[in-house]
Amino acid sequence: MIKVLLFAELEDAAGKRKIELDMADVTVADVRERLVAEYPGLRRIDRAMPAVNEEYAEADEKVNAGDTVAFIPPVSGG
């Protein structure tokens, strides 16, 4: 299982913050593709920066079972 976290506009679009995907040994791009296929409302996920296990990651980064992939929309703290 891969744990996915969605925030802000993405959380609203999917209607949830946490999603578990039955996937293993894939890339961030594969996870993103699967999410858009299952949740058409997540088109804007392309604007978000992925993070794997709490560190920003590129689309080709490997993701294994047990990892957490978060999608970080443009931030607005401060």
Binding status of residue 4 toward another protein by CB under 8 A: no
Tokens (6 digits) for 10: 């993405």
For the chain, the farthest-separated pair of C-alpha atoms sits apart, in whole angstroms, at 37
Q: At its nearest, how many Å lie between another protein and the CB of residue 61? A: 12
- H helical segments located in 1-78: 8-14, 28-38
CB 8 within 8 A of CB 26: no
Site map (CB under 8 A) of another protein, residues 9-48, x = contact = x--x---------------------------------xxx
- Stretch binding another protein (CB under 8 A), from 19-27, 35-43, 53-61: 53-61
